[in-house]
Amino acid sequence: MLTDRQKLILKAIIEEYVSTNEPVGSKMLTEKPYLTFSSATLRNEMQELEENGYLKKTHTSSGRIPSDIGYRYYLDHLFIRDDNVSEYYKYADEILDNKYLSKEDSLKKLAEFISNLTGYYSALIKSASDSAKVLKLEIVPLANNEAVLLIVTSAGEVEKQKIYIPKGYNMDDLMKIIAMFDSAMYGQSIYDIRDVLSKEASKPRIRQMVDFKDDILNFMIKAFERFMHGSTCDAGLSKLLNQPEFQDFQKMQKLVRAIDNIELKDYASDITHGLRVLVGAENLEDGLTDCSLITLPYFINDTEFGTILILGPTRMNYRATIPLLEYIARSMNKLDKR
């Protein structure tokens, strides 16, 4: 158990290291007005914190840096949210209040905003809704031989695909086949669509239109698979790779590979834990041992929800990052009815 003095010193070291990315020594700590201890006392306390696993020593300096255990203790017992981050909330509001943006575009812009502000990798992962149903299948003509096919669900999701009309057919043929699918699919759960599609595609009138049938069915099957698995808007991988911790090429490779391996949809499937922070080795994915991963659920309405995810170095600015994510999560209901 840490003494009050050790808690104060550990907090000071972590917040200084987050700010500077430089090992922290006793001389720097004496410059803190709230640490009115001698250099000898500070050195002794730092030594004890190191022996107990809260700090570690680098090879290049006599200063210390936090360990994963130190960060965990800080997050569980010493962390205080930075009120100054509230000045950036208005920029999130500009995105969320923009009625001209679709939900998907809003999620993309929010991911970019979070990444630009923090310098970390961010993702907004939208969960699939168990109650989502097909509302509309629509064709939008572009030219004599091409059109855009739209699928709209009750969860507000839209998938679009350009369809080319093969020789021997015309736009009327395409409109008729889409109308037949639209009638059969309306009100159906996205989980039942594969059976509906198979049944409709076997009808003689549709079966004759082989080229259309294959193109349209392939698109719709893939679209409904995406609906069932949820969608992800992410940004900022290049910004994360620019962090000092990842300038080593091997570390960079491992990090990129780890992000590719992360099943982001898994983080959206469990929304019962609230705010979660995994520090360093708490991330089981190889390549993320120098990272902290923060996840926080959000709710647009009763059927639309998901997770905000951010990945940065363990030397993350938790004090500013966490309240920013919390504000955005609280404000996501502004996207309802969008």
Pick the last residue of a domain from 176, 208, 229: 229
Rg of the chain (C-alpha set)? 26
Q: How many CB atoms lie within 10 A of CB 310?
A: 25
**Considering its fold, how many domains does the chain have in total?**
3
What pLDDT was estimated at residue 89? 97
For helices 89-96 and 103-118, angle between their N-to-C axes, nearest 10 degrees:
160
Mean pLDDT of 127-138: 69
Mean pLDDT of 194-205: 69
Residue 184: give its domain's CATH number. 3.30.390.10
Specify the 3-state DSSP secondary structure of 159.
Answer: strand
DSSP H or E segment with residue 292: strand 291-299
Pick the last residue of a domain from 201, 229, 257: 229
Q: Are residues 73 and 105 in the same domain?
A: no
Which residues, listed in sequence order, are joined to residue 148 by a DSSP beta bridge?
140, 162
Q: Are residues 152 and 110 in the same domain?
A: no
Q: Are residues 252 and 327 in the same domain?
A: yes
Q: Are residues 71 and 99 in the same domain?
A: no
Q: Are residues 57 and 105 in the same domain?
A: no
Mean pLDDT of 76-91: 96
Distance, CA of 237 to CA of 291 (rounded, Å): 13
Q: Are residues 221 and 142 in the same domain?
A: yes
Of 75-79, 200-204, 320-324, the poorest mean pLDDT is in 200-204
- Please check whether residue 292 is in contact with residue 71, taking contact to mean a CB–CB distance below 8 angstroms: yes
Of 49-53, 55-59, 104-108, the poorest mean pLDDT is in 55-59
Q: Are residues 273 and 311 in the same domain?
A: yes
Q: What is the pLDDT of residues 223-261, one digit of tens each?
A: 666 555 557 888 999 999 999 988 888 888 888 888 876
Checking if the pLDDT of 123 tops 60, the result is yes
Q: Are residues 62 and 50 in the same domain?
A: yes
Place of tokens 């996501």: 332
Q: Are residues 246 and 206 in the same domain?
A: no
Distance, CA of 27 to CA of 94 (rounded, Å): 44
Range of 294's domain? 83-127+231-335
Q: Are residues 22 and 44 in the same domain?
A: yes
Residue 207's pLDDT band (cuts 50, 70, 90): low
Distance, CA of 4 to CA of 10 (rounded, Å): 10
Q: Are residues 183 and 52 in the same domain?
A: no
Alpha carbon of 200 to those of 13, 145, 180: distances in Å? Answer: 66, 24, 8
Q: Are residues 235 and 331 in the same domain?
A: yes
- β-pair type (121-126, 276-279): unpaired
Q: Give percent of the chain above pLDDT 70.
A: 82
Q: How many CB atoms lie within 10 A of CB 3?
A: 10
